[in-house]
Copies of this chain bind each other. A is one copy, B any other.
Amino acid sequence: MGAEPTPEKPAVPVKPLRADAARNRAKVLVAAREVFAERGTGASTEEVARRAGVGIGTVFRHFPTKESLLEAVLGEILAGFAEQARLRTESPDPGGAFFDFFQLVVGESATKNAVSAELTGAGIDLHASGDEVRQELRGALGVLLARAQEAGAVRADVGLGEVMALLAGTSQATGNLDVLMRGRVLDVVFDGLRGHSS
């Protein structure tokens, strides 16, 4: 019960992870992303392991629960979106940046609509680490929206919540549509976001 020799112990002790462990963790994450995108989130953990070329035990050591694996995959995707949003926050064309980002997310989600379903329903049972990333995404998208509104490119009376709902809904809705229709749906939504202008 004396002084702890450990120099630092932050809330989340980031242990350095062995070389092979890190490699396998990454392989599992990639495989999981593919498998869940193709077969839906109902795909078995065993299939993820097979695709990753590791044993089931390995998957479960890195992600003690299937839910935690889903969380991690979703977290990666959201982090990617957050990054894309951040890249655009200082664009000289705020309106273009906003709509460009919107289109990007919808297009990406269309390819892997199993994940987008999860994205839509998210908040029901995926919290934990996901919440942190979701906050980053909210933050970056919030800046994008605010700047677009200041520039008059987006109507002033919509909030971040509405935009995120619209983003999720449009992603979900256009998942099975061909590019042409998807474009027209986006056109309608964008028009609505611009507002009754002239």
- Within 8 Å of chain B (Cβ to Cβ): is A1? no
| Interface of A (DSSP majority class) | helix
- Within 8 Å of chain B (Cβ to Cβ): is A148? no
**Chain B hits for A176, CB < 8 A:** 123-124
Q: Is there contact, CB below 8 Å, between A165 and B189? A: no
- Within 8 Å of chain B (Cβ to Cβ): is A20? no
- Within 8 Å of chain B (Cβ to Cβ): is A139? no
Q: Is there contact, CB below 8 Å, between A185 and B173? A: no
Q: Is there contact, CB below 8 Å, between B159 and A184? A: yes
Interface-located stretch among A31-39, A90-98, A190-198: A190-198
Q: Is there contact, CB below 8 Å, between B169 and A173? A: yes
Q: Is there contact, CB below 8 Å, between B181 and A188? A: no
Q: Is there contact, CB below 8 Å, between B193 and A196? A: no
Binding site for B on A (CB under 8 A): 117, 120-121, 123-124, 155, 157-159, 161-162, 165-166, 168-170, 172-174, 176-177, 181, 184-185, 187-198
